[in-house]
């Protein structure tokens, strides 16, 4: 139940009235040199939480777990969990849980209910490390046996990755402070790229849309290790402290509970990512970030739709989109896109709303997007409407920093 404050989180699917069904989309088979990663394959999920419990507080921790275990078991999508203690070192504990799919687990981890439930256990724990896996294959004790509530929800094939983890944080600042915040974010001192022998910071891209900030990071190796490394850097800490008066949600970085709650609420996971094999052939693709105007409750379905659109055209030879990442949290949907050429010339592709696959994407999007709130009239089948949506959704770049290339 206790989790690291920097692990990715997301939200479950929410039904949208009158919207066609947007089904979970299997990850595509990557083209040579390509990458395809998606949390929308519907497979069962195994979560492994490694805990270091303060010596002498083992019984207190176990008592706290007993008090909340039934509450967790009642969460929709929860299948089972096991709490284990090391045979060799009594301070080392392991909590494993199984969930019907990624969405209900990530929704629970992201919720205030979860933060409140695990709060009493935090003082017992010195450190945690959370790992999440899709279940690809399973060997059962009896032929034909099927785990309860699990069915055959196994991943059909492995995801194709590049040893890069993508994650984002989002928060809002007080209206009127946007210019000052942008100045602070653009001027911070970059931390050392090399975290340890296995972990490296590759890229940090910062964008703003009105008073909302989105910070997207790309990490080679372990995300949690990298984020903790960044948080310890004096230059980064100074910028975070300078931003505190401008934040709409108060936080105290000297209070672990306050910091944990803030960064858990700010987390936006990369729920889908595709990269074509042609990225290396482009000297300097342009990076865009889009914040979509989403109807209330439609965020999960829009994230799935964009993932499905990207899957349908991921390796189309003439596609101007070289890579796309969908970040999702509740009704916040952000898409980070690397484009070959001028993004303004291909708004439909950059938005992920071109007629791909079965051609139903644009029709579904019109039901999920709140075009009226963005001051947009007309159908998304019209180029003018797409251009207006692109302009309304496009975020303002603040800074985009890459780590030096290692020869």
The pLDDT score that the predictor gives to residue 22 is 41
110 and 227 together in one domain: no
The pLDDT score that the predictor gives to residue 148 is 47
The pLDDT score that the predictor gives to residue 10 is 33
199 and 302 together in one domain: yes
126 and 198 together in one domain: no
On whether residue 149 sits in a domain, the answer given is no
101 and 172 together in one domain: no
On whether residue 26 sits in a domain, the answer given is no
Q: Which residue has the higher pLDDT, 33 or 230?
A: 230
Question: Could you list the residue range(s) of the whole structural domain that residue 125 is in?
Answer: 44-134
On whether residue 21 sits in a domain, the answer given is no
Q: How confident is the model at residue 309 (pLDDT cuts 50, 70, 90)?
A: confident
pLDDT digits (tens, 9 = 90+) for 105-156: 888 887 888 888 888 898 899 988 888 988 888 887 775 555 544 445 676 6
Final residue before a domain boundary, out of 113, 134, 155: 134
The pLDDT score that the predictor gives to residue 97 is 95
386 and 282 together in one domain: yes
Most confident of 27-41, 224-238, 381-395: 381-395
On whether residue 156 sits in a domain, the answer given is no
Average pLDDT of span 37-54:
88
129 and 234 together in one domain: no
* Residue 24 pLDDT > 70: no
250 and 379 together in one domain: yes
Secondary structure of the chain as H, E, C letters? CCCCCCCCCCCCCCCCCCCCCCCCCCCCCCCCCCEEEECCCCCCEEEEEEEEECCCCHHHHHHHHHHHHHHHHCCCCEEEEEEEECCCCCCEEEEEEEECCHHHHHHHHHCHHHHHHHHHHHCCEEEEEEEEEECCCCCCCCCCCCCCCCCCCCCCCCCECCCEEEEEEEEEECCCCHHHHHHHHHCCCCCCCECCCCCEEEEEEEEEECCEEEEEEEEECCHHHHHHHHHCCHHHHHHHHHHHHHECCCCCCCCHHHHHHHHHHHEEEEEEEEECCCHHHCCCCEEEEEECCECCCCHHHHHHHHHHHHHHHCCCCCCCEEEEEEEEECCEEEEEEEECCCHHHCHHHHHCCCCCCCCCHHHHHHHHECCCCCCCCCCCCCHHHHHHHHHHHECEEEEEEECCCCC
The pLDDT score that the predictor gives to residue 147 is 54
299 and 380 together in one domain: yes
* Residue 38 pLDDT > 90: no
pLDDT digits (tens, 9 = 90+) for 62-110: 999 999 999 999 999 999 999 999 999 999 999 999 999 888 888 888 7
252 and 383 together in one domain: yes
The pLDDT score that the predictor gives to residue 362 is 87
On whether residue 6 sits in a domain, the answer given is no
114 and 188 together in one domain: no
On whether residue 20 sits in a domain, the answer given is no
Average pLDDT of span 180-200:
91
Percentage, residues of the chain above pLDDT 70: 84
Q: Which residue has the higher pLDDT, 310 or 169?
A: 169
The CATH number given to whatever domain includes residue 105 is 3.30.70.100
In the chain, how many domains are there?
Answer: 2
230 and 292 together in one domain: yes
On whether residue 91 sits in a domain, the answer given is yes
The pLDDT score that the predictor gives to residue 373 is 92
pLDDT digits (tens, 9 = 90+) for 198-253: 899 999 999 999 999 999 999 998 888 888 888 888 888 899 999 999 999 999 98
The pLDDT score that the predictor gives to residue 314 is 67
On whether residue 30 sits in a domain, the answer given is no
The pLDDT score that the predictor gives to residue 95 is 96
256 and 306 together in one domain: yes
The pLDDT score that the predictor gives to residue 140 is 78
Q: What is this structure's pTM?
A: 0.84
């Amino acid at each position: 139940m206790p989790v690291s404050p920097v692990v990715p989180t997301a939200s479950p699917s929410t039904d949208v009235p009158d919207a066609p069904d947007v089904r979970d989309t299997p990850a595509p088979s990557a083209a040579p040199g390509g990458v395809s990663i998606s949390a929308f394959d519907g497979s069962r999920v195994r979560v492994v939480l490694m805990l270091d419990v303060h010596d002498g507080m083992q019984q207190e921790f176990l008592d706290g777990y007993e008090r909340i275990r039934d509450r967790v078991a009642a969460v929709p999508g929860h299948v089972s969990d096991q709490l284990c203690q090391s045979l060799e070192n009594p301070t080392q504990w392991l909590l494993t849980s199984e969930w019907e799919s990624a969405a209900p687990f990530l929704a629970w981890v992201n919720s205030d209910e979860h933060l409140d439930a695990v709060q009493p256990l935090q003082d017992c724990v010195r450190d945690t490390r959370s790992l999440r896996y899709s279940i690809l294959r399973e060997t059962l004790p009896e032929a034909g046996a099927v785990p309860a509530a699990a069915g055959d929800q196994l991943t059909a094939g492995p995801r194709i990755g590049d040893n890069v983890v993508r994650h984002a944080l989002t928060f809002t600042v007080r209206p009127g402070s946007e210019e000052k915040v942008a100045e602070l974010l653009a001027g911070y001192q970059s931390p050392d790229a090399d975290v340890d022998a296995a972990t490296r910071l590759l890229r940090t891209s910062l964008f703003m849309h009105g008073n909302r900030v989105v910070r997207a990071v790309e990490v080679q190796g372990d995300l949690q290790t990298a984020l903790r490394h960044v948080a310890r850097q004096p230059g980064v800490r100074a910028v975070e402290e300078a931003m505190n008066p401008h934040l709409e949600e108060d936080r105290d970085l000297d209070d672990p509970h306050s910091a944990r709650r803030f960064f858990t609420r700010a987390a936006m996971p990369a729920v889908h990512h595709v990269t074509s094999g042609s990225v290396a052939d482009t000297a300097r693709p342009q990076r865009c970030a889009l914040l979509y105007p989403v109807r209330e409750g439609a965020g999960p379905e829009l994230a799935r739709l964009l993932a499905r659109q990207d899957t349908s055209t991921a390796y189309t030879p003439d596609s101007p989109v070289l890579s796309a990442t969908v970040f999702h949290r509740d009704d916040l949907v952000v898409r980070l896109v690397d484009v070959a050429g001028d993004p303004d010339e291909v708004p439909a592709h950059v938005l992920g709303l071109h007629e791909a696959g079965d051609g139903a994407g644009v029709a579904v999007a019109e039901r999920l997007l709140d075009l009226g709130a963005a001051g947009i009239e007309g159908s998304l089948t019209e180029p003018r409407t797409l251009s207006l949506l692109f302009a309304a959704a496009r975020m303002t770049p603040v800074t985009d920093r890459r780590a030096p290339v290692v020869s």
